[in-house]
């Protein structure tokens, strides 16, 4: 019996020829990641271990992104803990405000993760890097502390689910829609502690930005990781960018899957997840008409160049509805700069949008767009739980950037073709 791509990466990092689902394995990590919420806890635990250095100062990455620029004294203190730790242990990849980005947009852009890597991060959306053919997963801060000291962690080998997407994606349908559609089909626990492997002709034609979006939301189905087998699209992205050698893995033809799913994307339309779960998915045509107070375009799910270009395509020559606040958050400083070069900021500003420096901000209800009681937002973020973006009495609807932009223009959830 062959192995899946996930099993092969885990076997390689465990120093074994083969692993089986359900086994507990010790694995070396290629990268250990912390942010301004989770790293301070890990740092306190790291200091208790009593070691005098991190396992590799080039493989510990610290990114303040959730509450930056700092919104209050508490968030400033959190960031200070990270900053001082980075200086003390001479961490190579500490990204200060002004040079940083949303962590899961930043690391692929900077070439810090690549195909075949094993990455852990004290953030649930660390699974994003599976879009490059890496095994990446979120862990707790204590596990991060141990990994920073030892360069290894333990994992249970997950079973794998295979998702095959056939057909040509219609206009305005993106990776965000495919993953929302998938979660709508299997539920928020449909992949509990499993690997979600995304394959098929539609995925093969998808950009790296779209693949990262799909892997990002695997955790919303309860998955341990999401992964896209790397190919020439991946190679073009990582060559000249990767900081370390990378390895392409592929599932064997006789690999064992717990279940396999096949979808025809040609019949899909943009999707919207209604409150209060990412599985509560409807086609945009069935969700259209719900009034909104705010639209957010950004986050580690949809803050990349493809996303901003799609939003600009809808917003060009149009104005945001007078009753709506539109907040646009580029994922990194480089994405910010590229969007300026391409003239996207002029389109956004003419439309009446607010443009933020990179931050997670409103996605987790941190700041930069908190909702009041009774308010509704449509967002390109990844979660719409009760109180996720503010007051427990508010509502969050999830969509792709084009739908969010169209909704901002019309003041209600809308499809892009309603304004173009």
Per DSSP, the residues of 267-292 read G---EEEPTT-TT-EEEHHHHTT-B-
How large a percentage of the chain has pLDDT more than 70?
A: 100
Residues 302, 281 share a domain: yes
For residues 238 and 28, give the distance between their C-alpha atoms in angstroms, rounded to a whole number. 22
Residue 17 has pLDDT above 90, yes or no: yes
β-strand pairing of 152-156 with 24-28: antiparallel
Q: Tell me the average pLDDT across 87-111.
A: 95
Q: In the predicted model, what is the mean pLDDT of the chain? A: 96
Residue 8 has pLDDT above 90, yes or no: yes
- Total domains present in the chain: 2
What is the tens place of the pLDDT at every residue in 257-290? 999 999 999 999 999 999 999 999 999 999 999 9
Residues 247, 146 share a domain: yes
- The enclosing domain of 293 has a CATH number of 3.30.499.10
Q: Locate 15 and state its tokens.
A: 């120093």
pLDDT band at 1 (very low <50, low <70, confident <90, very high): confident
Looking at 224, 244, 262, which one is the last position of a domain? 262
Residues 258, 274 share a domain: no
Residues 373, 296 share a domain: yes
Structural domain of 221: 5-262
The residue assigned the tokens 């301070």 is 40
Residues 90, 45 share a domain: yes
pLDDT in the model for residue 177 = 98
Residues 98, 124 share a domain: yes
Angle 344-351/333-341 helices, nearest 10 degrees? 90
pLDDT in the model for residue 153 = 97
Which of 346, 359, 363, 272 has the alpha carbon at shortest distance from 312? 346
pLDDT in the model for residue 196 = 98
Residues 277, 231 share a domain: no
Looking at 202, 237, 262, which one is the last position of a domain? 262
Residues 360, 223 share a domain: no
The Cα angle at residue 174 between residues 173 and 178, in degrees rounded to 5: 95
What is the tens place of the pLDDT at every residue in 48-89? 998 999 999 999 999 999 999 999 999 999 999 999 999 999
For residues 31 and 59, give the distance between their C-alpha atoms in angstroms, rounded to a whole number. 5
Residues 280, 160 share a domain: no
What is the tens place of the pLDDT at every residue in 336-382? 999 999 999 999 999 999 999 999 988 888 889 999 999 999 999 99
pLDDT in the model for residue 330 = 97
Residue 397 has pLDDT above 90, yes or no: yes
Looking at 199, 234, 262, which one is the last position of a domain? 262
Q: Locate 110 and state its tokens.
A: 């900077």
β-strand pairing of 31-35 with 118-121: parallel
pLDDT in the model for residue 50 = 86
Residues 217, 109 share a domain: yes
What is the tens place of the pLDDT at every residue in 176-195? 999 999 999 999 999 999 99
Q: Locate 43 and state its tokens.
A: 């740092």
Residues 182, 54 share a domain: yes
Residues 342, 239 share a domain: no
Q: Is 9 left (phi over 0), alpha (psi -120 to 50) or beta?
A: alpha
For residues 42 and 135, give the distance between their C-alpha atoms in angstroms, rounded to a whole number. 21
Contact 103, 202 (CB under 8 A): no
């Amino acid at each position: 019996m062959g192995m899946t791509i996930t099993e092969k990466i885990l076997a390689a990092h465990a120093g074994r020829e083969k692993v089986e689902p359900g086994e507990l394995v010790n694995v070396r990590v290629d990268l250990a990641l912390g942010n301004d919420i989770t790293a301070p806890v890990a740092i306190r635990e790291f200091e208790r271990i009593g070691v005098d250095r991190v396992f590799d100062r080039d493989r510990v990455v610290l990114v303040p992104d959730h509450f930056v620029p700092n919104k209050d004294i508490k968030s400033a203190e959190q960031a200070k803990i990270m900053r001082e730790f980075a200086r003390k242990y001479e961490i190579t990849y500490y990204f200060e405000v002004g040079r940083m980005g949303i962590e899961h947009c930043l690391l692929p852009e900077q070439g810090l993760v690549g195909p075949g890597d094993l990455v852990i991060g004290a953030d649930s959306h660390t699974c994003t890097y599976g879009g490059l053919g890496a095994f990446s997963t979120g862990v707790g801060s204590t596990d991060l502390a141990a990994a920073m000291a030892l360069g290894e962690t333990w994992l249970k080998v997950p079973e794998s689910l295979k998702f095959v997407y056939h057909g040509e994606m219609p206009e305005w349908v993106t990776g965000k829609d495919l993953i929302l559609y998938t979660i709508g089909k299997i539920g928020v626990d449909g992949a509990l502690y499993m690997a979600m492997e995304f394959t098929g002709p539609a995925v093969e034609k998808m950009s790296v930005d779209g693949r990262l979006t799909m892997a990002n939301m695997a955790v919303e189905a309860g998955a341990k990781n999401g992964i896209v087998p790397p190919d020439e699209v991946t190679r073009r992205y990582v060559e000249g960018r990767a900081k370390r050698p990378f390895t392409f893995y592929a599932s064997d033809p006789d690999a064992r899957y717990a279940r396999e799913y096949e979808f025809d994307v040609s019949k899909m339309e943009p999707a919207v997840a209604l409150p209060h779960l990412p599985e509560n998915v409807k086609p945009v045509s069935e969700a259209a008409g719900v009034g909104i107070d705010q639209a957010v375009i950004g986050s580690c799910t949809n803050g990349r160049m493809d996303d901003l270009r799609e939003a600009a395509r809808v917003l060009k020559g149009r104005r945001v509805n007078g009753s709506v606040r539109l907040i646009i958050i580029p994922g990194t400083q480089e994405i910010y700069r590229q969007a300026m070069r391409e003239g996207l900021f002029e389109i956004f500003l003419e439309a009446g949008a607010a443009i933020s420096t990179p931050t997670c901000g409103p996605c987790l209800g941190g700041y930069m767009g908190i909702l009041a009681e009774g308010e509704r937002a449509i967002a390109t973020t990844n979660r719409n739980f009760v109180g996720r973006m503010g007051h427990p009495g508010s509502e969050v609807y999830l969509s792709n950037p084009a739908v969010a932009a169209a909704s901002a223009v019309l003041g209600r959830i809308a499809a892009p073709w309603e304004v173009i």
